[in-house]
Amino acid sequence: MSEDIGFPFELETDSLSDSLGKFLPRRSLYIVTGNIGAGKSLIAQRLAFGLVANGVRTTMVTTELTTRGWLEQVNSLGYPLSDATESGNFTLLSRFGVISDEVEGPVTIEEILDSEPMQHADISIIDRASSILENYEGTPDELLSRLRSFCSEGHSLMLLLDPEEISSEMMRILSSSAEVALDMRTSEIGGGLSRILAVTRFLRAAGPVQPRIGWRVEPSMGFIVDITAVS
């Protein structure tokens, strides 16, 4: 992988990479926003699987599922990652542990960033980061400075954010400062649910970036770019 090009996430099963810049930029902050049910977790799972499949060391932090539950979920989508966790190319962390034992006390963003799996990963993904940041005691600028420091050390970081969980100022600062900012949107059209991945920012793209990508999810097939949707 070229130092300048970035991290590949291409899969033969879909054309997402062709529509989303081909590579994710290195040493960068990625922000994925959307309300509950908009598809933040799904796109993160798709990207994680694609990154691991292309040899990128990836760490995923889930605040919603146990590690076992998360692995079972992605496997049902056609994204098996259990073997990758055993090989060490993929690390999965959960606030609930393996089954359902929640870690005592609130987990801070500092603790997560300083953890060994995050320090050794090329890309780390926190789903949902907003549930952790809603208790952040510093200012949004201080948070951004800490995240930038983490990325400057050779890491890339993806934060999944629900705008209802953090302040509008924090959301604005993070989204406007990120190298990649994606917004997961849904709408009802003709009685059906339309899903759109809106690209609001994508710096240092190595390939074409469509501003609007229609998508759907299919069991055992995962993320499918919907060519019938407006792009």
Kindly give the interhelix angle for 168-177 and 140-152, rounded to the nearest 10 degrees: 30
d(CA 28, CA 6): 10
List the one residue out of 121, 103, 110 whose CA is nearest residue 63.
Answer: 103
Is the pLDDT at 2 greater than 50, yes or no?
no
pTM, entire model: 0.92
Q: What is the pLDDT of residues 117-135, one digit of tens each?
A: 999 999 999 999 999 999 8
Q: Which residues pair with 59 in a beta bridge?
A: 91, 124
Q: What is the pLDDT of residues 54-76, one digit of tens each?
A: 999 999 999 988 999 999 999 99
- Place 95 in a pLDDT band, splitting at 50, 70 and 90: confident
Q: How many CA atoms lie within 13 A of 108 on its CB side?
A: 8
Whether the Cβ atoms of residue 225 and residue 197 lie closer than 8 Å to each other: no
pLDDT of res. 107: 83
Is the pLDDT at 103 greater than 50, yes or no?
no
Whether the Cβ atoms of residue 162 and residue 35 lie closer than 8 Å to each other: yes
Both structure tokens of 162: 């629900």
d(CA 128, CA 112): 13
- Place 231 in a pLDDT band, splitting at 50, 70 and 90: very low
pLDDT of res. 191: 67
pLDDT of res. 97: 65
Q: What is the pLDDT of residues 145-169, one digit of tens each?
A: 999 999 999 999 999 999 999 999 9
d(CA 138, CA 142): 6
List the one residue out of 59, 69, 64 whose CA is nearest residue 93.
Answer: 59
pLDDT of res. 192: 74
pLDDT of res. 102: 43
If one compares 99 and 211, the residue with the highest pLDDT of the two is: 211
- Place 229 in a pLDDT band, splitting at 50, 70 and 90: low
| Three-state DSSP class for residue 133 | helix
Domains of the chain: 26-185 (3.40.50.300)
- Place 200 in a pLDDT band, splitting at 50, 70 and 90: very high
Both structure tokens of 46: 């798709």
Write the CB contacts of 45 (distance below 8 Å, at least 6 apart in sequence). 73, 74, 77, 79, 222
d(CA 11, CA 133): 32
